[in-house]
């Protein structure tokens, strides 16, 4: 069977807004890129406009988001943008930013989906590469467990359980396609529990967080501008993060990821195991 062709954007698209953790106002522009480029971030605010490729080998931090760095360039919280690029089939793009973190938008991937669709996509004359898993891989640390199982498609089965009544045990399983991502995962927003906020602020995180771009759980109450978009929005957002973090493999994954209480540290650790196993 013929391999599908790589794809890039058919034009450029721009989004401006506040970044979640740094709190900076940032302008992000997505541009087309040549076949084989992958996803590359360019920091236009730094001398020389340095770049960092979206690669599992460039991950330097996974606290409440995934940060990549290469040379003088670092980019925080790449997962929501990468999830949209992954699910919408964009293999090659340049993401120009005049700050260290993409705009958070509403805390979901929807703003990035809209950017990509406004730019359109075009096929390129080079076959797409896949990360095709042939063996079962396991990762476990504390309460987090991930299993990667060979599959002909990219599927996720995810369970979250935090002990708080509004979040207590959510489960969802689906095959990740453009349609399923856009309808089921992309609208799910980032979230935290109320008691975590003080520690996050002290860690110089969520500097741009607000009820406009996050959901906060306080006991029995859900704090957000418009309630929940799905009753199980939290597990959906964790799956969104998985779609983004695993695109750091630099190619689309053919496997089923079974995840229990996942987070960025576990996602990146499993992606590294897959990278080592496949030599990519």
Is residue 264 among the annotated active site residues? yes
Q: At 73, which helix (H) or strand (E)?
A: strand 73-75
DSSP 2: P
Q: How far apart are CA 169 and CA 31, in angstroms?
A: 40
User: Distance of CA 261 to CAs 28, 149, 160, 279, Å?
Assistant: 31, 17, 5, 27
Q: At what angle do helices 233-245 and 264-278 cross, to 10 degrees?
A: 30
Adjacent-strand bridge partners of 215: 191
C-alpha count within 13 angstroms, C-beta hemisphere, residue 131 = 26
Q: For residues 277 and 268, give the distance between their C-alpha atoms in angstroms, rounded to a whole number.
A: 14
Burial of 142 (0-12, 13-18, 19+ CB in 10 A): exposed
Asked if 253 contacts 128 with a C-beta cutoff of 8 angstroms, the reply is no
Q: Which two tokens stand for residue 240?
A: 């969104």
Query: Whole-angstrom Cα distance, residue 176 to residue 209?
Result: 28
Angle formed at CA 153 by CA 279 and CA 66, multiple of 5 degrees: 60
What would you report as the CA-atom Rg of the chain, rounded to the nearest whole angstrom?
18
Q: Which of 237, 223, 146 lies closest to 184 in space, CA to CA?
A: 237
Neighbours of 252 (CB within 10 A): 20
Q: Which residues are catalytic?
A: 264
């Amino acid at each position: 069977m013929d391999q599908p062709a790589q794809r890039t954007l058919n034009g450029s698209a721009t989004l401006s807004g506040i970044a979640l953790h740094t709190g900076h106002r940032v302008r992000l522009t997505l541009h087309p890129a040549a076949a084989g480029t992958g996803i590359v971030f360019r920091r236009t605010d730094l001398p020389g406009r340095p770049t960092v490729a979206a690669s599992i080998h460039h991950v330097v931090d996974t606290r409440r988001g995934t940060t990549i760095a290469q040379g003088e360039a670092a980019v925080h919280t790449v997962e929501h943008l990468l999830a949209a690029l992954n699910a919408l089939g964009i293999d090659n793009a340049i993401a120009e930013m005049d700050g260290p973190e993409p705009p958070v938008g509403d805390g979901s991937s929807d703003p990035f989906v809209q950017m990509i669709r406004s730019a359109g996509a075009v096929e390129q004359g080079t076959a797409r590469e896949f990360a095709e898993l042939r063996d079962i891989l396991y990762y476990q640390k504390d309460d987090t467990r991930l299993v990667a199982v060979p599959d002909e498609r990219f599927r996720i089965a995810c369970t979250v359980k935090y002990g708080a009544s509004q979040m207590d045990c959510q489960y969802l399983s689906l095959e990740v396609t453009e349609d399923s991502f856009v309808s089921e995962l992309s609208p799910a927003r980032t979230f935290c529990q109320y008691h975590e906020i003080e520690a996050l602020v002290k860690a110089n995180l969520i500097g741009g967080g607000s009820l406009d771009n996050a959901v906060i759980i306080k006991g029995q109450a859900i704090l957000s501008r418009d309630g929940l978009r799905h009753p199980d929005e939290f597990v959906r957002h964790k799956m969104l993060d998985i779609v983004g973090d695993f695109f750091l493999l630099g190619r689309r994954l053919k496997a089923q990821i079974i995840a229990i209480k996942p987070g960025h540290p576990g996602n990146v650790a499993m992606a590294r195991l897959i990278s080592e196993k496949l030599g990519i």
